[in-house]
Structure 1
Amino acid sequence: MSNKDKFSVILPVFNERDNLNTLFAELKRAADATGRPWEAVFVDDCSTDGSLEIIRSLAGANPEARYVAFAENRGQSAAFCAGFDAADSGIVVTMDADLQNDPADIPAMLDIFGRECEMVIGWRARRRDTFVKRISSRIANAIRDAIVDDGVHDTGCSLKVMRADMARALPRFKNMHRYLPILMKTAGARIREVKVNHRERGAGVSKYGTLDRALAGIWDLIGVKWLISRHIGYTVKEKK
């Protein structure tokens, strides 16, 4: 099997110590079932709960596990970008480390990827979040759709499959991970959605999804709208 079939699972981590062993065990089971070469790239965002020690242990015991450790807390977007840069494959899979995304959905998403699409997005049709987080998400989605309509049901689902070269070429800014579908679409990616399982959080507490974060995202939306309006695209007719 050629290296183009290999995929890299990018896992930003901030204080998820009690979820990591279970996460990797589930991921290994799902990834091995694909029959493809794969790797897990953990990106520790300067955790303070001992997550990095668990990651080091996983990397030491499993050839598929690698990691990047930040010197200071830089946020989820920076962690995803560091994972894109570190990935040793042509396909990147992004997911959260809190066990709400189900690794068992990855094989089906990979089967669809490449069939007239450069990105596959998970759609959490049945959310397992707290009431506050669900309401915050609905408000954020309504505002986002009014300003930048990416044409997908669930842009906030972290479980995504993308072409690695396209992901690396995207403009980078704080909170850019929230706008990956519209950024990829602007870059020429064809997108498909797949309904995926969504679970209650494992151990730890949520770091994202509160109302103040949803409202703060309006500023990001204005910037994304500007980026899209200034995008330069072209089609080559002929070259020598």
Structure 2
Amino acid sequence: MSHIIDMPSTSSSTALGAGNKYSVILPTYNERKNLPIIVWLLAKTFDENNLDWEIIVVDDASPDGTQEVAKQLANLYGDDKVLLRPRAGKLGLGTAYVHGLEFCTGNFVIIMDADFSHHPKFIPEFIKLQHLHNLDIVTGTRYSASIRPSPKASSKPLSSQRIGFGAGGVYGWDLKRKLVSRGANFLAETVLGLGVTDLTGSFRLYRLPVLRHIISVTQSKGYVFQMEMIARARSLGYNIGEVPITFVDRIYGDSKLSGGEIVQYGKGVFGLWANI
């Protein structure tokens, strides 16, 4: 049975975020068209909720002019708000987070895609759940209709908790891509039993030291990376909560998932089962 959680009203998000700073790490590659939209939405979300924020753009030498756009955004919002921290080439998602972490000055870190598939409107819900249950990690889920803290993190019986918030979902994918994603999560949860409904999602809120710890011991790359991050977090005893989100396929650019990545994912699941 799904549980519904009682949450503070939106107007309380200011109090919940008081004293905290939120650093967003945005890995980019050929995101010239998407970057202005996502930065505007992030700035609007943070400012409307009176939250302290910064965005670290980790660009992997995009040939489409992404870095020039990032520089213009830094001039517009302030170079203390939008920080371009480029790299020499396309070096992978995990190392992009490691690189971005070097420049974070917030005590919480948000990781998300820059392609507009993750909407910043869900960030206040992440912050509310983190505050309410003192969580180490809050992850967005496309596959649950209920907000779920870790069982040991819940401060009151789940049956007494209610919230009026929409269910998660995926938009813009064909049936094949949806089946692959659902199947990947079903396989991982069946084998690993981590209690998280969306292990391959990449929209998350971390305590800064927690992210640094987990990423230092994570070894996987590609499609397996986000799953291993949650598996490592569970094995290290960190508390994890989930917030339902709507995922929309990217507006500009291409999103590809190769057969090789699917095979690698399957190997990664059983590798984690054997080693964690």
TM-score range, shorter chain: 0.7 to 0.9
Mapped to 2, the partners of 1:193 and 1:32 lie a distance apart of 24
Unaligned runs of 5+ in 2: 1-14, 143-167
CA contact (8 A) 1:98 1:201 kept: yes
Is 1:194 the counterpart of 2:194? The answer is no
Deviates further, 4-13 or 44-53: 44-53
Question: Structure 1: how far apart are the matches of 2:46 and 2:230?
Answer: 24
Partner of 1:238 in structure 2?
none
The one-character-per-residue Cα deviations of 1:96-148 (angstroms, maximum 9, x if unpaired) are 01101001110111121132311111112211142232122123223322332
- Output the CA distance in 2 between the equivalents of 1:218 and 1:76: 19
Secondary structure of 1:110's aligned partner? helix
Q: TM-score, normalised by structure 1?
A: 0.86
Alignment of 1:1-240 (within 5 A): 5-63=20-78, 64-114=81-131, 115-124=133-142, 125-131=168-174, 132-170=176-214, 171-175=217-221, 176-207=225-256, 209-228=257-276
Number of corresponding residues = 227
* Distance in 2 separating the partners of 1:81 and 1:218: 25
Residues 87/67 of structure 1: CA separation in 2 closer, same or farther (3 Å cut): same
SS at match of 2:197: coil
RMSD: 2.1
Asked whether the equivalents of residues 9 and 93 of structure 1 are also in contact (C-alpha less than 8 Å), the reply is: yes
Distance 2:193 2:101 in 1: 25
Cα distance, 1:111–1:134 mapped onto 2, change above 3 Å: same
CA distance in 1, matches of 2:271, 2:18: 36
Give structure 1 regions of 4+ aligned residues with deviation exceeding 6 angstroms.
none
Q: Secondary structure, in 3 states, of the residue corresponding to 1:69?
A: coil
* Pair 144,129 (structure 1): closer, same or farther in 2 beyond 3 Å: farther
Q: What is the SS of the residue equivalent to 1:24? A: helix
Structure 2 length normalisation: TM-score?
0.75
d(CA) in 1 for partners of 2:84, 2:220: 21
Deviation at 1:173, TM superposition (A): 2.6
